[in-house]
Amino acid sequence: MDSYTHIQQQDPEVFGTLQGEEERERDGLELIPSENYVSRAVREAQGSIFTNKYSEGYPHKRYYGGQMFTDSVEEIAIARAKKLFGASFANVQPHAGANANIGMYFALLQPGDTVLGMDLSHGGHLTHGHPVTYITKFFNFVRYKMKDADTGEIDYDEMLVVAKEHKPKIVLAGFSAYSRELDYEKFVAIAREVGAYAVIDIAHIAGLIAGKAVKNPFDYGFDVMTSTTHKTLRGPRGGLILTRESEEIAKKIDKAVFPGLQGGPLMHVVAAKAVAFGEALEPQFKTYAAQILKNAKAMEEVLHAHNVRMLGGGTSNHLILADVFGSLGIPGQEAEVVLDRVGITLNKNTIADDTRKPMDPSGIRFGTPAITTRGFKEKECAQVAELMLGALASRADDAKLEKIHQEIKTLAAQHPIPDSFN
């Protein structure tokens, strides 16, 4: 248990919530594919005195004095981000992945311009232009989808037709619920053909790219990558924008993030990003990234064996989207609640062309970044998949659910959350 001595003495109410969350994370298994466990070093940086400092602007171009150490820490974060992803420029100030995307849009577009992005129900993200977001008041979004939800193949022919018709200024790759690799050459070719920027939101797979377990989109000519830093990349909660080579684009992005969109950067989070990027540059991060994929495959095999339909037919990355309603007759919401009861946290998720509603969809989405951080290998991941399916099959049997809960607790206890990864 973390000590939290000062909070404990000063604020028992908040201390109680910290204690509860610590126990929840310790005793249960985190399968939400966008979550992870950060190192103590990252948490120390994020809880550090840099939170006291206002640093509007960029290193050596700030609006307030007293920036000798904030400048240094931001420069460290930028240099490490560039090295990790092979970028020429990095903006480490976005407070979140949504801010990174919004900053990128305002840097590259004029109001009324069009973006071609992945349909939310086929794996895209709210910030890729879902009508509930305010960015759709400024920009026009058109969509591409999968040609076949059972292979995950994107309909690139249709994408080109839509691109030629709507002349987007950005062709946007990337996803939050898609389990296959994209054909980067095709994305960039379509963007070039219609004179658009090729941009990819790598929030989910940033750690897999940094760890060289999957392809780096910059090697295929993408102009810009947006990301979060807290998913597979295993850093603090935050955003990041990378530019492959154009200084002109990078300058527009810097202006769009500050002063266009945000005020003072969160320097404690920038410090924590620097620490996390340092960890990702270590050789063992490659082993971690590769193991995430092996573990997801091990879970995929169990689902295949039980004839559970997976969108995309399985996985080539860190996540699986399973049609539990179609395969087992269990709605995603019910599956999420049953699994929460036995100590497995994941999320309900819509599947392509879902006939059910977003708050009670057909699917569940889960993945292996967090349990891989705990040291789980293929054998334990297969066991977790069996326990998940066992819990769903026994959802009306309290005694069986309790037995599975105890097995999950034992697995968790055998794999404590590490303080560091070296």
Residues with a catalytic annotation lie at: 54, 56, 201, 228, 231, 237
Closest distance between ligand DSN and the C-beta of residue 328, in Å? 23
Residue (57 or 238) nearer to ligand DSN, CB = 238
Closest distance between ligand DSN and the C-beta of residue 351, in Å? 15
Do residues 391 and 401 make contact, with C-beta atoms less than 8 angstroms apart? yes
Count of residues that interact with ligand DSN, criterion CB under 6 A: 4
CA–CA separation, 4 vs 335, rounded Å? 35
3-state DSSP assignment of residue 161: helix
Q: Which of residues 169-188 bind ligand DSN (CB under 6 A)?
A: 176
Question: What is the DSSP code (8-state) at residue 260?
Answer: I
What the block records as the tokens of 19 is 């204690």
Q: Does 114 interact with ligand DSN (rule: CB under 6 A)?
A: no
Q: Give the residues across from 348 on adjacent strands.
A: 364
Q: Strands 319-323 and 146-148: what pairing?
A: unpaired
Closest distance between ligand DSN and the C-beta of residue 228, in Å? 7
CA–CA separation, 78 vs 240, rounded Å? 10
Q: What share of the chain is helix, strand, coil (3-state, %, to 5)?
A: 50, 15, 35
Q: Which of residues 343-362 bind ligand DSN (CB under 6 A)?
A: none
Closest distance between ligand DSN and the C-beta of residue 24, in Å? 18
Closest distance between ligand DSN and the C-beta of residue 166, in Å? 25
Closest distance between ligand DSN and the C-beta of residue 369, in Å? 11
Residue recorded with tokens 């497995």: 344
Q: Strands 344-345 and 29-30: what pairing?
A: parallel
Residue (31 or 266) nearer to ligand DSN, CB = 31
Residue (39 or 101) nearer to ligand DSN, CB = 101
Q: Strands 170-174 and 197-201: what pairing?
A: parallel
Q: For the CA atoms of 130, 133, 134, 138, what is the dihedral angle to 10 degrees?
A: -10
Closest residue to ligand DSN, judged by C-beta, is 34
Closest distance between ligand DSN and the C-beta of residue 35, in Å? 8
Do residues 98 and 86 make contact, with C-beta atoms less than 8 angstroms apart? no
CA–CA separation, 259 vs 353, rounded Å? 40
Residue (190 or 205) nearer to ligand DSN, CB = 205
Residue of 28, 97, 235, 332 that binds ligand DSN (CB under 6 A): 97
Residue recorded with tokens 């269990």: 330
- Helix (H) or strand (E) segment spanning residue 189: helix 184-193
Q: Does 36 interact with ligand DSN (rule: CB under 6 A)?
A: no
Residue recorded with tokens 């309603």: 325
Closest distance between ligand DSN and the C-beta of residue 16, in Å? 26
Q: Strands 239-243 and 319-323: what pairing?
A: unpaired
Residue (220 or 366) nearer to ligand DSN, CB = 366
Residue recorded with tokens 């550090």: 48
Q: Where are the alpha helices (DSSP H) in 211-349?
A: 247-255, 267-280, 283-305, 324-328, 332-341
Residue 421: is it exposed, middle or buried by C-beta count within 10 angstroms (0-12/13-18/19+)? middle
- Helix (H) or strand (E) segment spanning residue 197: strand 197-201
Residue 415: is it exposed, middle or buried by C-beta count within 10 angstroms (0-12/13-18/19+)? middle
Residue (19 or 133) nearer to ligand DSN, CB = 133
Residue (97 or 238) nearer to ligand DSN, CB = 97
Residue of 28, 29, 34, 232 that binds ligand DSN (CB under 6 A): 34
**Cis geometry, peptide bond prior to residue 217 (ω within 30 degrees of 0):** no
Q: Which residues bind ligand DSN (CB under 6 A)?
A: 34, 97, 125, 176
